[in-house]
Amino acid sequence: MDGNIIRDGKMPPLWHYGHEEHDVISAKTFGFWLYMLSDALLFAGLFAAYAVLDHAMNMAGGPVEAQVVHPIAATWQTLAVLSSVFAYSLATVALKRGSRAGLIAGMAVAIVLGAVFIGLELADFASLVHTGATPDTSGFLSAFFVLIASHGLHMAFGLLWMLVMLVQVLRFGLSTAVVAQLLNLRLFWQFQASVWVCVYVFVYLKGTI
């Protein structure tokens, strides 16, 4: 307990007058960090499933890891996603300056590069399916496709969000609500890039060894 806090007959204040400063951006950012934590756990679960099923027994006589992963193609994907994050970061620098044009330009580049990433991924999937390596071939391929497609879905969701934000910036300008969303979107986009780095290392690079 805090001991005797009444000194010299002075009662400390019982009510807090004055407007509570309601910091919308910090509340939303904190909430979004918590969401990112749950998203990180989701990927942790998927990586765990991949680690368990990445075993000769789980390949069930189907294609083995080295036949499935294309690290060179994945390197191009890595470059695309990292440049997209870089473009979005430049957009947030422009946001800090209050430059709407710079923000829109940066986001447009980020969207294009994100779309390139998804296009490369779909092309990779198509070539795998063409060679008969489909998700229902073996437990290993199930884990491979679902892990990478989950990340791809997150990327697609991020692209949709960016498009929506582009419209909102044009319509509402840099209002508090818009800025809060732009900052959370940055967090989301950078997190997906970090997850891709893990995918690149644990799936594509490890798969070639």
Partner 1 sequence: MFVHVPGPWSPLFGRLTLDSIPYTNPIILFAFAFSVVAGLMIVVPVLYYRKVGYLFREWLTTVDHKKIGIMYILLGLVMMFRGFVDGMMIRTQQVMADGPKSLGYLGAAHGYLPPEHFDQIYSSHGTLMIIFAVTPILTGLGNIIVPLQIGARDMAFPMMNAVSLWLTAVGAMLVMASLFIGDFSTAGWVGLAPLTEVPFSPSVGVDYWLWAIQISSIGTTLNAINMIATIVGMRAPGMRWDRLPIFTWTTLSTNIIGLTSFPILGVALALLGADRYLGTHFFTAGMGGDLMLYTNLFWIWGHPEVYFLVLPAFGIISEVIPTFAEKPLFGYITMVAATFAIAGISWTVWLHHFFTMGAGPYVNTFFSVATMLVGIPTGVKVFNWLFTLYRGRLTFTAPMLWAVGALFLLLIGGLTGMMLAIPAVNYTVHNSVFVIAHFHCMVLLIAYSIFAATGYWFPKVFGFRLDERSGKMFFYTFSLGTAVLFIAMFALGFMGETRRLDYLYDTQWMPALVTEEIGIGIYTLSCYYFAKMLYVSIRDRAKNRVGADAWGTSRTLEWLTHSPVPFYNFAVTPQVNTRDELSWRYANNVAGVRPSRFEDFHMPNNTVVPLLIGILAFGFGFGLVWRIWWMAGFSLLAIIAVVIYRSFARDPGYIVSAETLAKLEGADEPLSIITETQHLAELGMITETRHLTEAEAH
Site residues (CB under 8 A) for partner 1?
A: 1-2, 5-6, 9-20, 22, 26-27, 30-31, 34-35, 37-39, 41-42, 44-46, 48-49, 52-53, 57-60, 62, 134-140, 142-143, 145-146, 160, 164, 168, 171-172, 177, 181
Closer CB to partner 1, residue 56 or residue 93?
56
> Of 25 and 104, which has the nearer Cβ to partner 1?
25
Other C-beta atoms closer than 10 Å to the C-beta of 92 total 19
Per-residue exposure over 164-175, b if at least 16 CB sit within 10 Å of its own CB, e if not: ebeebbeeeeee
Nearer to partner 1, 62 or 90 (CB): 62
Task: Look up tokens 């949709």; give the residue.
Answer: 160
User: Closest CB to partner 1 among 49 and 108?
Assistant: 49
CB of residue 6 vs partner 1: minimum separation in angstroms?
A: 6
Give the nearest distance from C-beta 135 to partner 1 in angstroms.
Answer: 5
**Min CB(52)–partner 1 separation in Å:** 5
Q: What's the rounded Cα separation, in Å, for the pair 1 and 196?
A: 49
User: How does 69-90 read in b/e, with b if 16+ C-beta sit within 10 Å?
Assistant: bbeeebeebbebbbbbbebbeb
* CA–CA dist 14, 48 (Å, integer): 52
Q: Least distance to partner 1 from the beta carbon of 73, Å?
A: 22
| DSSP, residue by residue, 100-165 | HHHHHHHHHHHHHHHHHHHHHHHHHHHHHHHTT--TTS-HHHHHHHHHHHHHHHHHHHHHHHHHHH
Nearer Cβ to partner 1, position 35 or 76?
35
- Closer residue to partner 1 in complex, CB, 168/190: 168
Closest distance between partner 1 and the C-beta of residue 106, in Å? 20
Q: How far is the CB of 118 from partner 1 (least distance, A)?
A: 17
